[in-house]
């Protein structure tokens, strides 16, 4: 799923570690309507990433209900230069992890 503030482009994917099923659209079900290229325009391209990582880590709004057994993969690209400015893959602990 892609988000932009017209300066940066966030490409983000949230997947279940067991099934491999992607549930990014479910997580961002209240995202603005995408443009004809499927990109969602937002004021801050980092905000959707911050929300997904909070969910993964059990922080912020998700402190009481973190998601376990999932992975967030993302790339942030500077639109003017076409260069990747940040990318990463973060995995939550499994439910049974101690």
DSSP structure string for 29-95: TTPPPP-TTSEEE-S-TTHHHHHHHHHHHT-GGGTTS---SEEEEEEEEETTT--EEEEEEEEPPPT
Whether residue 75 lies inside any domain: the answer is yes
Q: How many CB atoms lie within 10 A of CB 88?
A: 11
Q: What pLDDT is stored for residue 67 in this prediction?
A: 83
96 domain-assigned? no
As for how many domains the chain has, the answer is 1
Residue 20 lies in a domain: yes
In a domain, 10, yes or no: yes
pLDDT bin (cut points 50, 70, 90) of residue 98 is very low
User: What is the extent of the structural domain holding 40?
Assistant: 2-91
In a domain, 71, yes or no: yes
Q: For residue 64, what are the contacts with CB-CB under 8 A and spacing of at least 6?
A: none
Structure confidence by residue, pLDDT tens digits, 59-97 = 988 888 878 899 999 999 999 999 999 999 999 876 654
Is residue 35 a part of any domain in this protein?
yes
For 19-51, what is each residue's pLDDT tens digit? 999 999 999 999 999 999 999 999 999 999 999
């Amino acid at each position: 799923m892609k988000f932009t503030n017209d300066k940066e482009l966030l490409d983000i994917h949230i997947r279940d570690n067991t099934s491999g099923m992607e549930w990014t659209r479910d997580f961002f079900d209240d995202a603005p309507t995408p443009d004809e290229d499927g990109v969602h325009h937002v004021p801050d391209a980092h905000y959707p990433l911050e929300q997904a990582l909070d969910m993964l880590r059990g922080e912020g709004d998700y402190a009481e209900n973190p998601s376990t057994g999932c992975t967030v993969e993302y790339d942030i690209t500077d639109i003017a230069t076409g260069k990747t400015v940040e990318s990463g893959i973060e995995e939550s602990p499994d439910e049974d992890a101690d």
